Amino acid sequence: MSKSYGAENIQVLEGLEAVRKRPAMYIGSTDTNGLHHLVYEIVDNSIDEALAGYCNNVKVIINADNSIEVTDNGRGIPCEPHPTHKISTLEVVLTKLHAGGKFDNDSYKVSGGLHGVGVSVVNALSKEMKVEVHRDGKIFVQEYKRGRPASAVKNTGKSSKTGTIVKFLPDDEIFEEVEYNFDVLSKRLRELAFLNAGVTITLLDKRGAKKADKYRESTFHFKGGIVSFVEFINENKTTITKKPIYFSIAKDNMEVELAMQYIDSYAENVFTYANNINTKEGGTHLIGFKSALTRVINDALKKGKFDKNIQQLSGDDVREGLVAIISVKLTNPQFEGQTKMKLGNSEVKGIVESVTNENLGFYFEENPQEAKKIIEKCLQSARARIAAKKAKDLTRRKNALENNALPGKLADCTESDPSKCELFIVEGDSAGGSAKQGRDRNFQAILPLKGKILNVEKARLDKMLSNEEIKTMITAFGAGIGLGEFDIGKARYNKIIIMTDADVDGSHIRTLLLTFFFRYMKEFIDNGYLYIAQPPLYNIKIGKESFYVYNDEEKDRLLKKNEDKNVVIQRYKGLGEMNPDQLWETTMDPSKRTMLRVRVDDDVEAENVFSVLMGDVVEPRRKFIEENAHNVQNLDL
């Protein structure tokens, strides 16, 4: 018998109830990403005050209990009675969705955030929140619990300054875990400081340390704005031109800022922003820039005396080795999708394109020597592209990339659904033998590699494609390689697991593989396909019992609990030292194993680390080792 369905079944979620009922609709998720998003929403309000010209100082504090405190010296949230709601405007802003100054173009010409839902959403998803406003010579305070006012707005004293202090504790009923990551917050705050020249942003972590002078702290302030951003990215790289190219133009109620510089490298790093929001999937501003860049450089190529064998440069040619920041600020941004990863305003393409055409063209005319260096760099890219195409064509003829022939060393699985398949990359035949015998051949494939693969940080695609081990991996993965050809939808495995030995060589091989994935198959990382296996470090026998131990801390705890010297400790230096059943039980069995998912929280910092550790320039690497040597815990000599 069907249940009745009538008017009484229709629920109306008032105020912030909807946010607590469906938090992911407002902040994307309730995992660590959503948790950190709360901080960004509050900071974005402070930055909007900076964009309006009223704020130049923002401080973010992570307290010992993982509550967050954000202080700015902006105008302060209005606290007088609201003309419509007849209560303090502060309470309206904190408890009503879509209440804010972002809809009034006179108050904020440009803003980021969630279009007026930001601070109220954070309030709804916080166990408790306290807001203190310094405005009109007074201090106003109100406290909230899970989005509801716990007290009326109070005038608590006089103040000679202006600004807002927001303190909130995320609700542990909503979030999977309330634990903030300093580095994740640091990345976003550093980014905001670059994008808003002259604003000082401080991040202070009060967790762990007992004394204030031991607190972890970072302060970001960049007079050069996005020029400083490009210089920061290129700090440890060899640049083609001495200084970044920069221009900033206001046109049709929009501000376009661009900074760019070429480096002696093969990667393309173009970061785009709209109203301070990182549009990771690009959009109309990126399309306009790419189109203009290709046109300007090809025009200069035709006018100059260069390699006559190459009459036309492709978009890929002119962007190889390019580091660029494109920042647009506009009144009514339109973002595609809830997470705002892509800018959709159609008018932006034409404006960015014309601005880039005009200003970059003028730069080339005024700086002929710099322009010549850039064009020569692009010609090198074109020559390498042509050579890579020849290498690919040759490889195809040998049935290594596109045909159905799989590499002979691959022990494939019987399952054909990629979502159920996993591939273990192991080093050498010994480990490969144990893994092949220990695996579940229904869904687990094994690919042994011989020796260390090529360091792709120092090699172009054409050289990389001549390396047998890399060709073997590309063939096994099935997704292709290179711009325009890599297709993650064709991947044969949705889990690729790096399983190397726990020694120096194993660590080096793992690092070389991570460099390869980061540079040429980053989509595997971004989509959560790449993992690192965690084999045990020790097998400890105490009497008749045997224990697998995965780190030194665990070993020490075990030995302390069992002080019998009838103890035998075996340190595994190679996976080949383990029997197939031991390898399955400890490292490969999905019901028991522990794996690390590879993720990139800070693209810019990751770019810097790979360049320093794997690139050609020695001095930054020496400096990195000297500064971080004291952090080494397990030195395998």
Give 585's DSSP letter: I
- Is 422 one of the annotated active-site residues of the chain? no
Predicted local distance difference test score (pLDDT) of residue 110: 60
> What angle, 0 to 180 degrees and rounded to 10, lies between the N-to-C axes of helices 182-195 and 226-233?
130
> In whole numbers, what is the pLDDT of the chain averaged over residues?
86
The CA-atom distances, in angstroms, between 8 and each of 12, 20, 293, 377 are 11, 22, 60, 70
Predicted local distance difference test score (pLDDT) of residue 314: 92
The pair of structure tokens assigned to 358 is: 């005009």
- Is 427 one of the annotated active-site residues of the chain? yes
- pLDDT by residue (tens digit) across 268-299? 899 999 999 889 889 999 999 999 999 999 99
- pLDDT by residue (tens digit) across 380-389? 888 888 877 7
Predicted local distance difference test score (pLDDT) of residue 629: 64
Taking the domain 17-220, which CATH number applies?
3.30.565.10
Length of the chain: 637
Domain boundaries, the chain: 17-220, 226-392, 407-535+572-598, 605-629
Residue 78: phi and psi, rounded to 5, are: -55, 140
The DSSP string of 76-131 is ----SBPTTT-SBHHHHHHHSTT-SGGG-TTT-SS--TTTT-HHHHHHHTEEEEEE
The pair of structure tokens assigned to 568 is: 């035998």
List the catalytic residue out of 217, 468, 503, 554. 503
The pLDDT-based confidence of 14 (bands split at 50, 70, 90) is low
Q: How far, in whole angstroms, is CA 72 from its chain's centroid?
A: 26
For the domain made up of 407-535+572-598, give the CATH fold: Rossmann fold (3.40.50)
Whole-prediction pTM value? 0.77
**Whose CA is closest to 381, among 308, 321, 463?**
321
The predicted model gives 527-541 an average pLDDT of 92
Torsion of CA 160, 164, 165, 170, to 10 degrees: 170
The predicted model gives 503-524 an average pLDDT of 89
The predicted model gives 46-53 an average pLDDT of 91
List the catalytic residue out of 143, 336, 429, 505. 505
Predicted local distance difference test score (pLDDT) of residue 1: 47
- Is 503 one of the annotated active-site residues of the chain? yes
Encode 417-434: b = buried (16+ Cβ within 10 Å), e = exposed: ebeebbbbbbbbeebbbb
- Is 505 one of the annotated active-site residues of the chain? yes
- pLDDT by residue (tens digit) across 101-130? 554 555 555 655 433 458 999 999 999 999
Check residue 116 and give left, alpha or beta (phi > 0: left; psi -120 to 50: alpha).
left
CB atoms within 10 A of CB 581: 11
**Whose CA is closest to 478, among 544, 552, 410?**
410
The pair of structure tokens assigned to 168 is: 């909130």
Strand extents, DSSP E, 199-286:
200-205, 216-220, 245-251, 254-262, 269-274, 277-278
Architecture of 226-392 per CATH?
2-Layer Sandwich (3.30)
Out of 23-27, 175-179, 590-594, which region has the weakest mean confidence (pLDDT)? 23-27
pLDDT over 80 (residue 7):
no
Q: Which stretch, 95-109, 218-232, 463-477, 529-543, has highest mean pLDDT?
A: 218-232
pLDDT over 70 (residue 564):
no
List the catalytic residue out of 257, 317, 422, 501. 501
Strand extents, DSSP E, 522-631:
530-533, 538-542, 545-549, 567-571, 595-597
